[in-house]
A and B are shown apart, each in its own frame.
Chain A
Amino acid sequence: NAGVTQTPKFQVLKTGQSMTLQCAQDMNHEYMSWYRQDPGMGLRLIHYSVGAGITDQGEVPNGYNVSRSTTEDFPLRLLSAAPSQTSVYFCASRGTGINSPLHFGNGTRLTVT
């Protein structure tokens, strides 16, 4: 059981380039989300989804797009990378149970130069 898988682990982009961070989970979780983690800022919610075809904005959505065409996948797109988007990105999912915790991937470290 792989859990939450994020690819790539590391990425370097130039300002203005685009890329997609991949996230897949094999736990049949309806809820999936993306966080960014910056030093001293904790984990900030970018976008989240409560099921296929449904997405919503989190705390810091600007500069990022998401879509949810299947239950398993929740890609995060950077359309025009900026140095302010240098961060570690985490994907997380959870199930429907009352006490269901978030399950995190191991992150993608993105550097924008």
Chain B
Amino acid sequence: GENVEQHPSTLSVQEGDSAVIKCTYSDSASNYFPWYKQELGKGPQLIIDIRSNVGEKKDQRIAVTLNKTAKHFSLHITETQPEDSAVYFCAPRKTGGYQKVTFGTGTKLQVIP
């Protein structure tokens, strides 16, 4: 099965700074790379995703970059705000059929006002 690792496990940044979280995976057949955000007391929610035929995708202050050769992808958050404080998960998978989804162990981001 897919082996997924996330780094760092915790991250503290000052408000306005940038944050980067990296996800490394093992299955070279993975071709869908989402990031989920989990706020306190809630279930994870998709915030951005990318497919393997694209190297980078941006949505306002968040972006995802993919290095398929090295089997890792990263979440970039610029101009961080207190509401970005949450736990972030990556969950790479193959898109054919209904594949089991393996999540990374999560990164707790704290944005200090």
Residues of B within 8 A of A (CB): 1, 9, 32, 34, 36, 41-46, 49, 51, 89, 91, 95, 97-98, 100-106
Contact = CB atoms under 8 A, between A and B. Distances in A.
Given A99-B49, A99-B95, A43 B100 contact: no
Given A45-B100, A98-B95, A107-B41, 9 more contacts: A31-B98, A33-B101, A35-B103, A43-B89, A43-B103, A48-B98, A92-B43, A98-B32, A102-B101
Interface residues of A, number: 25
Interface string A1-17: 00010000000000000
Contact of B41 (A42, A50, A58, A106): A106
Contacts, number: 57
A102 B100 contact: no
A50 B105 CA distance: 24
Contacts of A45: 100-102
